[in-house]
Amino acid sequence: MSLRPPPDAHDRALLIGASAGGAMRLLQVVLSVLLVLVLTRSLPLAVYGVWAALGIVGSLVMFTSGIGARLCNEMANGREDEEERQRVFFAAFSVCARFCWAAGAVFLVAAPLIPWKSVLGQADPGLFQLAQRGFIAAVLLQAAGMPFVLGAYALRAFRRNVAAAAVSPLATAASLCLAVAFLRAGWRLPLLLAPFAAWNLVFLASFFLFIRSRGWRWRFVPLGEAWPLFRPLLADSLSFSLLGLCLSFLLSSVTFLTSRRLGYVSAGGLDVYVKIYLTALTGLNEIVQPLWPEYLRCLAADDRECLRRRLRSSLAVTAGLAALAAVAGALASPLLVRAISGRAIALPPGALALLGGWLLLAALTQALQMFLNACNSTRAQLAVAALLLLALPPASTRLMAAWGRNGMLGAMVLSLGLLLGVMAWRTRVELGRLEARTRPAGAPS
- Helix ranges (DSSP H) in 214-252: 223-252
Reference 127, options 48, 42, 41; nearest CA is 48
Q: Cα 205 to chain center, whole Å?
A: 19
Q: What is the pLDDT of residues 390-418, one digit of tens each?
A: 999 999 989 998 999 999 999 999 999 99
Q: What is the pLDDT of residues 5-55, one digit of tens each?
A: 555 555 555 555 556 666 776 788 788 889 999 999 999 999 999 999 999
Q: What is the pLDDT of residue 37?
A: 92
**Strand locations in 199-268 (E):** none
The more confidently predicted of residues 130 and 80 is: 130
Q: Is the pLDDT of residue 164 over 70?
A: yes
Q: What is the pLDDT of residues 106-160, one digit of tens each?
A: 999 999 999 999 899 887 888 999 999 999 999 999 999 999 999 988 887 777 7
Q: What is the pLDDT of residue 364?
A: 93
Residue 155 identity: L
Q: What is the pLDDT of residues 82-97, one digit of tens each?
A: 888 889 899 999 999 9
Q: What is the pLDDT of residue 432?
A: 87
**Strand locations in 185-227 (E):** none
Q: What is the pLDDT of residues 145-163, one digit of tens each?
A: 999 999 988 887 777 777 7
**166 DSSP 8-state letter:** T
- Mean pLDDT (the chain, rounded): 86
Q: Report the distance separating Cα 147 and Cα 145, nearest Å.
A: 6
Q: Is the pLDDT of residue 268 over 50?
A: yes
Q: Write out the DSSP string of 93-115.
A: HHHHHHHHHHHHHHHHHHGGGS-
Q: Are 400 and 407 in contact (CB under 8 A)?
A: yes
Report phi then psi at 291, rounded to 5.
Answer: -70, -20
Q: How confident is the model at residue 4 (pLDDT cuts 50, 70, 90)?
A: very low
Q: What is the pLDDT of residue 440?
A: 55
Q: What is the pLDDT of residue 9?
A: 57
- Helix ranges (DSSP H) in 253-263: 254-262
Q: Are 310 and 289 in contact (CB under 8 A)?
A: no
Q: Are 123 and 49 in contact (CB under 8 A)?
A: no
Q: Is the pLDDT of residue 308 over 80?
A: yes
Q: Report the distance separating Cα 4 and Cα 241, nearest Å.
A: 40
Q: What is the pLDDT of residues 342-370, one digit of tens each?
A: 888 888 899 999 999 999 999 999 899 88
| Separation of first and last alpha carbons in the chain | 31
The more confidently predicted of residues 245 and 417 is: 417
Using CA atoms, how far residue 195 sits from 138, 297, 330, 404, 438, in Å, is 9, 35, 28, 29, 47
Q: Report the distance separating Cα 129 and Cα 116, nearest Å.
A: 10
**122 DSSP 8-state letter:** S
Q: What is the pLDDT of residue 3?
A: 46
Q: Which of 57-66, 199-208, 231-240, 367-376 has the lowest mean pLDDT?
A: 231-240
Q: What is the pLDDT of residue 2?
A: 42
Q: Are 293 and 154 in contact (CB under 8 A)?
A: no
Considering all CA atoms of the chain, what is the largest pairwise distance in Å, rounded to the nearest integer?
75
**Residue 397, CB half-sphere, CA atoms under 13 Å: how many?**
10
The structure's pTM equals 0.84
